Structure 1
């Protein structure tokens, strides 16, 4: 059976099923499509499926051309009908793995998806989880569900692997095809099959010994970032108290050609990985009675950054003889990073909440996120819309906080239009025109 499937991959006849067509699944569909593989997308969201079939974009930074090409091709299909799961040869699961209210792994989306997959599983299919998760998920959670629902045996009747997504939305230098793919299989045959599949579309596959190791790789990558971001965030607060510009320090340190990697401070962590992934390991580490003090300390520092920004905003307002209570404050940037429409776990939401608790009236501007969509944690902000960018609007605010430094912001206009700017991203460097107009935060 394995040789037949490998031949099918080689002949570009192997149907790649993508379950979940969001920020991970849609680029993955596009990547396989570009390499002439037939792709079939599955999602519970009618709008996403219809957008693919009709060529309408729903993730702004991916653009119109990609969607139109997918819609025109007879090698692409998308559906909300999960009874069609058996049509695909491989099922790549790209579903959310958030935290619950206790900051523990919330595996409900993985579990529900695996239940549905298991009910439609057929012999010979390859199931790969791409979502970030704790070590042991594939062996301890996914395989038992798939076997229990299907009556089939992993490694004998069907194949299972884990290959973590490494998406960086908006990164023009590294798209899905250019980022090496770590792959761990449930047995040698699953590893061979998964690597052969990714080899058709990805620049390099990096096989590891098992699924547990592959799961640990992804957590390690993002914990590395979390810890280093926490370090520069702490340095920012320390150097601020000393009258030292942390950005100047980091720029100069970054000229060293070895032994230093530059990270940039900000108002807190955002995105679908870095604010979440460390807690997946700390949760799993408790099972083996191992402390994660270093990781937890980094989490505490990063989590506290929005409060630091609020304190700096209060100080800036005080300098202008204004109180926080009753002030109108504008937050620039709702997306968690520049030049994308991805607002998942954005620290701007936390800033909104904290500022409102202090009595401020808070608005936001973001051309990438013109209207806030419903979310589990910030449902009360759903429907709130971005203000317009014009002189009268910007001048009317008592303070402006730059939370995300989109390239389409005219910072020269901002410097001209508002006298109290709190800059968490060093975006106003070179634009300040008056003493204490710009506060670094």
Structure 2
């Protein structure tokens, strides 16, 4: 059965796109050999936090068709590649999943199909990596026989304000006709389409947006350390600073930086895309600062324990919230894993609580999950709030906990030791 759209890759980008498309009446198939059978049966991936089981049931009843059969890719008008691009061992993006998606699609690619890449990618990926794969396998030529474009993923998982429809979509095609074809598709599911000059510009939009987040988080993380040393309440500083109506956007510190948005440093670009002598030095420094935050949390925890006559060795430490973002199950890049690892290496006995994570392992060992939050906090020598889920009664928790370190500035003033 033909479909309007094929979403290739059903992770944090693909599933919300499919949901938005299905909700507007677009016939949608979703190709992902790893996840298709579970999704077809109504089972979400364990770490999928942006959709609920009820959302998936509604999608399936509206005609959403997960499939592991690549033959179905040859019967769609638009194909959007949302394959993951994790960091490789050398710090560069691993494009192998994009390659697999491209080969599966190219073998069935028909003329006049619109192909769009949404995966995080380096400037040049669409034209220099994806295009040759599609052309060689299909025998078709991009820009003449089929349309090819890039559109950076712009999602704020769990946001009640910014959804797929009201978030502008940036598009850059390899020809003006490719851009317009992609714009016509996204115009069906978003309120506003922004046309970039080409795919490189669209790809670089993602580089800028992602690096902007990491650089500003790094700045406020450094401010957190400085303000603690000076005895200044950073959270009050931010509260006051964000009243400035121009020239300032508030970011807040934390125990580390998680999420799917990976900072892209030109030092790790593919060789032909590098700009020798012009690295984004601030991005490298931001990564260094943000990577230090889990260790800083450990230092603060050890100091607090010591000030209360206890040692980190054999201390009972309760970690609250192990996901990367509040009110989601997604643990991608969460600093909780490194913090737990370091505490275990110090000899601490750790446990955790997270309403979205029923099971959690560190160093290959399951971490005990607290059934009763208040009892666990009362028994622990130290409780560390790593993620402030809405379900947490932080005022009540501060009363019950023997010692509470709040890395998110979410507890009432004076109720806990803040980062």
**Superposition TM-score, scaled by structure 1 size:** 0.89
Please point out which of 359, 365, 371 is paired with 1:388: 371
Moved over 6 A (4+): none
Structure 2 CA distance for aligned equivalents of residues 117 and 172 of structure 1: 34
Within-5 A mapping of 1:37-76: 37-46=26-35, 48-51=36-39, 53-58=40-45, 59-73=48-62, 75-76=63-64
* 2:417 alignment counterpart: 439
2:249 pairs, out of 249, 258, 261, with 261
Distance in 1 between residues matched to 2:50 and 2:188, nearest whole Å: 25
Distance 1:92 1:344 in 2: 22
Query: What is the alpha-carbon distance in structure 2 between the residues aligned to residue 150 and residue 86 of structure 1?
Result: 11
Tell me the residue number matched to 1:403. 386
1:32 deviates by: 1.3
Alignment partner of 1:217: what SS? helix
What corresponds to 1:292 in structure 2?
280
Distance 1:195 1:255, change over 3 A: same
The answer to whether residue 154 in structure 2 is matched with residue 166 in structure 1 is: yes
Counterpart of 2:226 (choices 238, 241, 251) is 238
Report how many aligned residue pairs link the two structures.
Answer: 413
| Residue 229 (structure 1) aligns with | 217
Matches within 5 A, 1:21-170: 21-46=10-35, 48-51=36-39, 53-58=40-45, 59-73=48-62, 75-170=63-158
- Pick closer, same or farther for the CA change 1:272–1:245 going to 2, 3 Å: same
TM-score w.r.t. the length of structure 2 is 0.94
**For the structure 1 residues 133 and 112, does the alpha-carbon distance in structure 2 shift closer, same or farther, using more than 3 Å as the test?**
same
CA 1:96–1:425 in structure 2 vs 1: closer, same or farther (change >3 Å)?
Answer: same
Residues 49, 157 of structure 2: 8 Å contact kept: no
Sort the Cα spacing of 1:245 and 1:330 in 2 relative to 1 into closer, same or farther, 3 A.
same
- Kindly provide the CA deviation profile for residues 401-427 of structure 1, in whole angstroms up to 9, marking residues without a partner as x: 111111101213322221111110012
Q: Which residue of 2 aligns with 1:205?
A: 193
1:369–1:386 contact (8 Å) kept in structure 2: no
Rounded Cα–Cα distance in structure 1 between residues aligned with 2:123 and 2:373: 50
Cα distance between partner residues in 2 of 1:111 and 1:34: 29
Is 2:380–2:402's contact at 8 Å kept on the other side of the alignment? no
Q: Cα offset for 1:245?
A: 0.8
Alignment-derived partner of residue 429 in structure 1:
412
Partners of 2:18 and 2:163 in 1: how far apart?
12
* Offset of residue 247 of structure 1: 0.6
**1:385/1:329 Cα in 2 relative to 1: closer, same or farther (>3 Å)?**
closer
By how many angstroms is 1:112 displaced? Answer: 1.5
Moved more, 351-360 or 206-215: 351-360
In structure 1, C-alpha distance between the alignment counterparts of 2:158 and 2:368, rounded to whole Å: 23
CA contact (8 A) 1:180 1:204 kept: yes
Deviation string for 1:296-329 (max 9, x for gaps)? Answer: 1111111101111000000011011111112121
Quick check: 1:54–1:71 contact (8 Å CA) kept in 2? no
RMSD across aligned positions (CA): 1.9
Q: Which runs of 5+ in 1 are unaligned?
A: 1-12, 433-437
Corresponding residue for 1:278? 264
The answer for unaligned runs of 5 or more in structure 2 is: none
Q: Give the structure with the larger helix fraction.
A: 1
Distance in 1 between the 2:34 and 2:367 partners? 22
